[in-house]
Structures are given as structure tokens and as C-alpha cells.
Amino acid sequence: MPVARKFKFEYRIALIYFIIGFLWIYFSDTFFGNLLEDKETLAKINILKGSFYVIVTSILLYYLIKKHINKMQKAEVLIKQRSEEIEAQNEELQLAKTKVEESEIFLNTIFDHIPDLIFVKNANDLRYISFNKAGEKFMGYTRAELIGKNDYDFFPKDEADFFTMKDREVLNSDKPIVIIEDIISTNEGIKTLYTKKIAIKDKKGNVKYLLGISEDVTSKKEIEKQLISAKERAEQSDRLKSAFLANMSHEIRTPMNGIMGFAELLKEPNLSGEKQQKYIDIIQKSGTRMLNIINDIVDISKIEAGLMQVDIKDSNINKQIEYIYTFFKPEVEAKGIQFVIKKSLSTNKAIIKTDREKLYAILTNLIKNAIKFTNEGSIELGYYLINSSKLAHLEFYVKDTGIGIPPNRQEVIFERFIQADISNLMAVQGTGLGLAIAKTYVEILGGKIWVESEEGVGSTFYFTIPYNIEL
């Protein structure tokens, strides 16, 4: 503004000068024309007058031009200085921009390589404006698919309602909030998150964004559950083995006391033949009972140590069924129970390749178990040949009309030592290993075992083995 005003002032001076000059020339010509008659003198005066006007004009023009040039030079200097200042500011801005870009790259690199899920939402509409790579992977979408969307675009309504409620709680309370177990649905199934949400403000203190940091603790929770389950199993195993050892002490002492006691009674003089035979029978039964206990302990020890071997050869299952029937019939009939066997194959077809001793042990354990828990009714032993598209197999069964098994015990009865943990008045003797041994032998032979039972009605134990085992 000051420079413009000076230029206008100079223009006014020049204009006034030319007006005055014009008027002076006009009126001086008239004045001198009337005063002088001599044209030669008048011409000389006009020449002098014109020369004076030219000189004065030249001086004025020189002054004005020089003044203008000086001002232009000063303006050029100012412009140059301003240009240098602008250039310096541009360099500073460019340097600042470079630093900002480097910082942004640095922060984005950190942001993308943090293993936890990180997201940012707009505080107004709670729409996503940023996601790191862990968030993309967790959600199963790209950033382009996530940005601009909200929770209702990806989660069920009840979950989205919960997330929105927590978001508003953070934004309204201006305090961070931690959600210890945040259960959400993703493309990869149900996940458990540990989430922290924070409100982010601008310089004026207005809440602009919502920052969320989530850790996927699904695997940790699963490991925690497994550890708890393993701990419970270990505690149960320890408890069952302790009960088993206590039971073994009783089981071994009982027949041993019988053997020792009645052996001492045999020393009595004048002992009648009838009593002597009775005592010998008791000693024999006690010895058989102790031998069975020892055999069970040896078998389960071999199984635990992985030393159990399989001996595959031709076996006639009909003869095995008949032998078991003959062996246990007196004991079954002594309890007033009917004993029935059913054979579905002819003698030729009943010869299969299997481990005869293990099959015998399986059937023996199941029959013993049936006799032990059946006081009236019947026990039935049989088998069927089942031809399937994959492999022909035999399905054996032992059916009784005993006390039955509660539904919550039907799975665990095949576990080792479990009999020692059953609060049952009938479980007064035995190692609790019979069904566990039977299950292991069935699986070694390539089959499976299960039970169907109803309390007060009875139980039916089933197991399968391949019709012919080829090892």
C-alpha cells in the first residue's frame, strides 16, 4: 500500500507539470505575441522557452524514471528475499513432509507387525477407519473390505450390539475399558479375545476416534482347559490308583488269609475226611482267586509298558464258546441263573485267524463281570458275522439281567482301576482291571467295545474283531 501511494503521488506531480507547461506555453505565446512585434525576437524567445521546457521535462523524467527504477530494484530485492524465504519454507516443509512420511512408514511397519489385532473406529458412527494385518487375518477380510464398515456388517446382531454398547461406554466415560473374555464369531469359527478399548482426542479435547487392541487368547484358553482337564485326570488317576492299591491289599490278603487259615486247620488231628476236603476246596478257590488277581496285574503291567504281543493263528471260536460255557456253567447254575450260548457259524466257517488267548481273556472277563453282578435271570453269550462293504467282522455279545450300569458310568467303566471307585455294594471284590484289559485286547485285535445298559434291567456288552486278522 505505501509503495502504491508513492507511485500515485508521482503521477499527480507529472500530470500537474504537463498541465502547467501547456498553459504556460499557450499564455506565454499570446503574451509575447502581443508585446513584441519582431518575429525574429519572438522566435528566439520561443526557442529558449522550448529548450527550457525540454530541459525541465528531461530532468523531471530522469528523476521519475530513476525513482521508478530504484523502486523496482527494491521491489526485486524484496521479491528475491521473499522467494528465498518461501524456498526455505518449502525446504523445511519438504523436510517435515519427509520426516512425517518416514514416521508414518515406521509407525505403519510397527502397526502391521504387532501380533495383536488393532483397529480404529470413527467416534461418531463407529465405522472402521484402520486395521493392521493381524486384524485382517483374524477377521478374514482385506482392509478395503473392512474400512467404512461397522460391526453389524461382520458379526451377529447380539454380538454387534454388545460391541457397540462397550464402544459407547468408552467414548462417554472417557476411560479405557478391558473386556477379559470377548467371544466373537469369525470365518474360522468362535474366537476368544482379550480386548482393551481407548478413546482418542484431538488438541481441543474432543473425542475423535476409538482405538481397540485385542489379543486372540483362543489357543491359550484351549490349553488352559486341557491343563485343567489333564490335572483333573491326573488327580483322578492318582485317586483311583490309591484306591486300587488299597483294594489290592484287601484282595490279596483275603485269599491269602483263606489259604493260610485253612492250611493251619488241616494240621488239626482227628480231622474228618469231609472237613479236610472242604478245607482243601477253600484253599484251591483262594489260590485260583489270587492267581487271577496276579494275572490281571501282570497283564495290565504289560499293557502299561507296551510289552503286550499278539499271537495270530487259526482259532475255532465255536470251541472257545463251548469251553467257556462248560467252564462257567457250574458257577452260573450255582447262583440259580440260566446260562445260554448262541453260535451263528458252522464249524468250518467258525475257524478264523486271531489271537486265541486274548479272545478267551476278553470273553472270560465279560462273563465273570456278568456273573458277579447278576443274581437272577439269565446270562447269554453269542456272536454274529457281519459282512460290510469294507471288512467282514464278528460281533460278540454278553447279555445279562443284572443290576445294570448308571448312564454316567457307562463310559468310565472301561478305564483302568475304575471299579475301585464305584460306590456299589456288589463291587466287594475284584481288581477293577477286567474291563480295561478286555478293552485293550479288543483294540489290539482291531475292534471296538461298548455297553448298552439300563439300571435294574441288565447290561449287554458288545465287542467286534475282524473276521480274519492279517498282520
Please determine, for residue 23, whether its predicted confidence score (pLDDT) is greater than 60: yes
Same domain, 357 and 436: yes
Please report whether residue 471 resides in a domain: no
DSSP type of residue 418: G
With beta carbons less than 8 A apart as the criterion, state whether 219 and 189 touch: no
Confidence of residue 422 (pLDDT cuts 50, 70, 90): very low
Residue 469 pLDDT: 56
Residue of 466, 452, 460 lying closest to 386 (CA atoms)? 466
With beta carbons less than 8 A apart as the criterion, state whether 365 and 388 touch: no
Confidence of residue 10 (pLDDT cuts 50, 70, 90): low
Give φ, ψ of 433 to 5 degrees: -110, -10
Residue ending a domain, among 216, 246, 267, is: 216
DSSP type of residue 377: S
- CA 382, CA 66: separation in Å to the nearest integer? 132
Residue 423 pLDDT: 46
Same domain, 36 and 168: no
Which of helix, strand or coil describes residue 202? Answer: coil
Please determine, for residue 61, whether its predicted confidence score (pLDDT) is greater than 60: yes
Residue 63 pLDDT: 76
Q: What is the pTM of this model?
A: 0.46
Residue ending a domain, among 187, 216, 245, is: 216
Please report whether residue 246 resides in a domain: yes
Same domain, 345 and 453: yes
CATH number of 313's domain: 3.30.565.10
Give φ, ψ of 125 to 5 degrees: -110, 0
Same domain, 349 and 370: yes
pLDDT digits (tens, 9 = 90+) for 212-234: 888 877 778 888 888 888 888 88
Per-chain mean pLDDT for the chain:
80
Please determine, for residue 430, whether its predicted confidence score (pLDDT) is greater than 70: no
Same domain, 183 and 325: no
Please report whether residue 341 resides in a domain: yes
Same domain, 237 and 383: no
Residue 470 pLDDT: 54
Please determine, for residue 463, whether its predicted confidence score (pLDDT) is greater than 90: yes
Residue 203 pLDDT: 84
With beta carbons less than 8 A apart as the criterion, state whether 370 and 363 touch: no
Query: Between 147 and 64, whose confidence is greater?
Result: 147
Same domain, 185 and 236: no
Residue 452 pLDDT: 92
Residue 16 pLDDT: 72
CA atoms within 13 A on the CB side of 103: 6
Please report whether residue 31 resides in a domain: yes
Confidence of residue 380 (pLDDT cuts 50, 70, 90): very high
Query: Between 122 and 25, whose confidence is greater?
Result: 122
Same domain, 288 and 327: no
Query: Between 94 and 30, whose confidence is greater?
Result: 94
Please determine, for residue 418, whether its predicted confidence score (pLDDT) is greater than 60: no
Please determine, for residue 47, whether its predicted confidence score (pLDDT) is greater than 80: no
Residue ending a domain, among 105, 132, 150, is: 105
Residue of 381, 363, 396 lying closest to 465 (CA atoms)? 396
Same domain, 184 and 254: no
Percent of the chain with pLDDT over 70: 81
pLDDT digits (tens, 9 = 90+) for 164-213: 888 888 888 878 888 776 677 666 667 777 788 888 888 888 888 988 88
Please report whether residue 186 resides in a domain: yes
pLDDT digits (tens, 9 = 90+) for 123-177: 889 999 888 888 888 887 888 888 898 888 888 888 888 888 888 888 888 788 8
The edge-to-edge listing of strands for the beta sheet with 117-122 is: 128-131, 117-122, 207-216, 189-201, 177-186
Please determine, for residue 241, whether its predicted confidence score (pLDDT) is greater than 80: no
Average pLDDT of span 446-463 = 92
Least confident of 278-292, 307-321, 343-357, 384-398: 278-292
Please report whether residue 58 resides in a domain: yes
Percent of the chain with pLDDT over 90: 12
DSSP string, 52-72: HHHHHHHHHHHHHHHHHHHHH
Confidence of residue 428 (pLDDT cuts 50, 70, 90): very low
Confidence of residue 462 (pLDDT cuts 50, 70, 90): very high
Same domain, 352 and 447: yes
The edge-to-edge listing of strands for the beta sheet with 338-342 is: 338-342, 378-386, 393-400, 458-466, 449-454
CATH number of 237's domain: 1.10.287.130
Domain that includes residue 201, residue range? 114-216
Residue of 116, 421, 431 lying closest to 299 (CA atoms)? 431
Residue of 458, 400, 420, 426 lying closest to 296 (CA atoms)? 420
Residue 427 pLDDT: 45
Domain count, the chain: 4
Please report whether residue 78 resides in a domain: yes
Query: Between 193 and 421, whose confidence is greater?
Result: 193
Residue 377 pLDDT: 93
Confidence of residue 239 (pLDDT cuts 50, 70, 90): confident
* Residue 120, beta-bridge partner list: 130, 211
Please report whether residue 324 resides in a domain: yes
Confidence of residue 251 (pLDDT cuts 50, 70, 90): low
Same domain, 333 and 458: yes
Sign of the dihedral defined by the CA atoms of residues 274, 251, 430, 436, in that order: negative
Same domain, 251 and 350: no
